[in-house]
Chains A and B, each alone.
Chain A
């Protein structure tokens, strides 16, 4: 069973100027784990996903989704995908 979970962790982390190491230390994970989540090679547990969302002060669905995320620019400028 390997459901693909999409995430925008890399974008949000870059926006907040947080390194993988800092995020990993804050949520009790290894920095490689953060990298593998960003690359889509590892789906975090609910516990870890909630901790990451809490770290950024965002709802978990803002970071993780079963559906692919729309580009942020589309969401900001309200463009509809073709």
Chain B
């Protein structure tokens, strides 16, 4: 952590991100990857429903309801990944120590590379679709742009969740002065 003083907000976020009550949810690599997969699936599902709402221009009520229902587990999955990474992407830089700052830089760099590849693939897809069906790029440009924006936003979270390491083994050193039964 830097020498800059932490604000009350920093301290509360630090406490929240290091709260271990849900530690069992992300204790193993398999569980963390399951959380990332669930988050990815839910993000795609929400994006799909919203795209349907945008393109179909009808029946907005059930799409809003489905989106609201999907958002709840999406938020839970987000919390699990944030817990697994100890708030690597949520905390301000001054609340991170040198290892966490370096890890955040690595995560953002990797997410940037993946997002760049996805953007390139999207651009190529749009160009190919434009060549075969003239109106397609125009019709799909807005939902694709939103999809790319969402992926750009959440990709660091997926990368961070995927890369998160197991907790070091239990620390059983007794504090000086502690009562030992």
Chain B: residues with Cβ within 8 Å of the partner, total of 17
| In the assembled complex, A79 has its CB within 8 A of some CB on chain B | no
User: Whole-angstrom distance between the alpha carbons of A80 and B98 in the complex?
Assistant: 38
CB contacts under 8 Å to B, within A26-58, are 28-36, 38-39, 41-42, 44-45, 47-48
Most buried by B among A30, A36, A41: A30
User: Whole-angstrom distance between the alpha carbons of A39 and B96 in the complex?
Assistant: 20
Chain A: residues with Cβ within 8 Å of the partner, total of 25
| In the assembled complex, A8 has its CB within 8 A of some CB on chain B | no
B28 to A: closest C-beta gap in Å: 16
B168 to A: closest C-beta gap in Å: 3
B174 to A: closest C-beta gap in Å: 6
Most buried by A among B165, B168, B174, B175: B168
Interface residues of A (CB under 8 A from B): 13-14, 17-22, 28-36, 38-39, 41-42, 44-45, 47-48
> A33-B98, A47-B98 are known contacts; what are 9 more A-B pairs with Cβ within 8 Å?
A14-B173, A17-B174, A22-B175, A29-B97, A29-B98, A30-B86, A32-B167, A34-B168, A41-B165
